[in-house]
Amino acid sequence: MLELDWGHLPFGYVKTDYHVRSYFRNGSWTELEFSTDDRIPIHIAATALHYGQQAFEGLKAYRGKDGKIRLFRWKENAKRLQHSARGLHMPEVPDEMFYEAIVKAIKLNLGFVPPYGTGASLYIRPLLIGTGAEVGVKPASEYLFLVFVTPVGPYFKEGFNPVSIAIIRDSDRAAPLGTGTFKVGGNYAASLRGVIKSKEHGYSAPMYLDAKEKKYIDEIGAANFFGIKNNTYVTPQSTSILASITNKSLMQLARDMGLNVEQRPLPIDELETFEEVGACGTAAIISPIGLIVDIETGKEYRYCKDGKPGPISTKLYQTILGIQFGDIDDPYQWVEIIN
């Protein structure tokens, strides 16, 4: 086992030993290969560089008390990368190849999987990019699929503690009929103005509203939004949201806890009515929200009045984490042990 400061890892890049690659050429994927070099030579006219033809995924491997390494719902990530690939006219990576690549990337870097009990995990980043040279706007004829891994600590320095969010009205992450449902870098580039603005005002992340009417909640940074009231878990439905696998899992766990679940357009005015609100995604799992400020109108929405996350968010968080680390029963076989 490596000597990293497991308890204080940032959410950032730590160099590991290997990553895994495959190339798409002449209509098919090459055998997976691995490399120790964390740079790639790329053609100066590659479509990924100029026209944003790229997509990625993010999932984690968790080491349990038994020392075994667990993947959480990897097939959902494989399906979503295929959805993103179709969206940007790139070749799909088949499920089996996706799985083989992530397992290989983990097994080649076993010493980087953080020990149980440190709160850290191994972040897995599959990436699909257009590498073929084009100057006109059209899909490339060659692609690279790669998977790297890196050990990560908590996404927010606050950990499982309430964060503050700024509602952004002068930039949009994604258009209603744009690329919001695809996990692509272009959406992240588009989100940077909002991210920076929220930070400049002292908030952890931006809340994006629907681009057309500015009336409904879309997302919180790179996480989905949920609110809880009257024993109901409510999460937005929109054509510009990236469907979070964490959110999908929380909806199921909420039902199992006896809550009703509603996925529907969620008007911003409804923020006043929630007992608990939070953001969810693989990176932070759940970030409870203590304050949302509409920085243009000055309107504030306050939660966690005692400074602590709400009881339902806490229970959801403990349950999903318990399943991911193998501490509690996994009734839906979401977890796959790989060693």
Ligand X SMILES: *Cc1c(COP(=O)(O)O)cnc(C)c1O
Which parts of this chain interact with ligand X (CB under 6 A)?
58, 183, 219, 222-224, 242, 244-247, 281-282
Q: How far is the CB of 115 from ligand X (least distance, A)?
A: 23
Q: With respect to ligand X, which residue has the nearer C-beta, 58 or 64?
A: 58
Q: Which of 294, 281, 217 is nearest to 246 (CA)?
A: 281
Q: With respect to ligand X, which residue has the nearer C-beta, 105 or 280?
A: 280
Q: With respect to ligand X, which residue has the nearer C-beta, 194 or 310?
A: 194
Question: Which of the 8 DSSP states describes residue 90?
Answer: -
Q: Check if 183 is active-site.
A: yes
Q: Which of 15, 65, 138, 183 is catalytic?
A: 183
Q: What gap in Å lies between CA 80 and CA 147, rounded to an integer?
A: 15
For residues 220 and 232, the answer to whether their CB atoms sit within 8 Å is no
Residue 55 DSSP SS3: strand
Q: How far is the CB of 246 from ligand X (least distance, A)?
A: 3
Residue 211 DSSP SS3: coil
Q: With respect to ligand X, which residue has the nearer C-beta, 282 or 324?
A: 282
Question: Which of the 8 DSSP states describes residue 32?
Answer: P
For residues 313 and 278, the answer to whether their CB atoms sit within 8 Å is yes
Q: How far is the CB of 293 from ligand X (least distance, A)?
A: 21
Q: With respect to ligand X, which residue has the nearer C-beta, 18 or 72?
A: 72
Q: What gap in Å lies between CA 319 and CA 67, rounded to an integer?
A: 20
Q: What gap in Å lies between CA 91 and CA 139, rounded to an integer?
A: 10
Q: What gap in Å lies between CA 287 and CA 205, rounded to an integer?
A: 11
Q: How far is the CB of 23 from ligand X (least distance, A)?
A: 25
Q: How far is the CB of 166 from ligand X (least distance, A)?
A: 17
For residues 289 and 156, the answer to whether their CB atoms sit within 8 Å is no
Just list the catalytic residues. 183
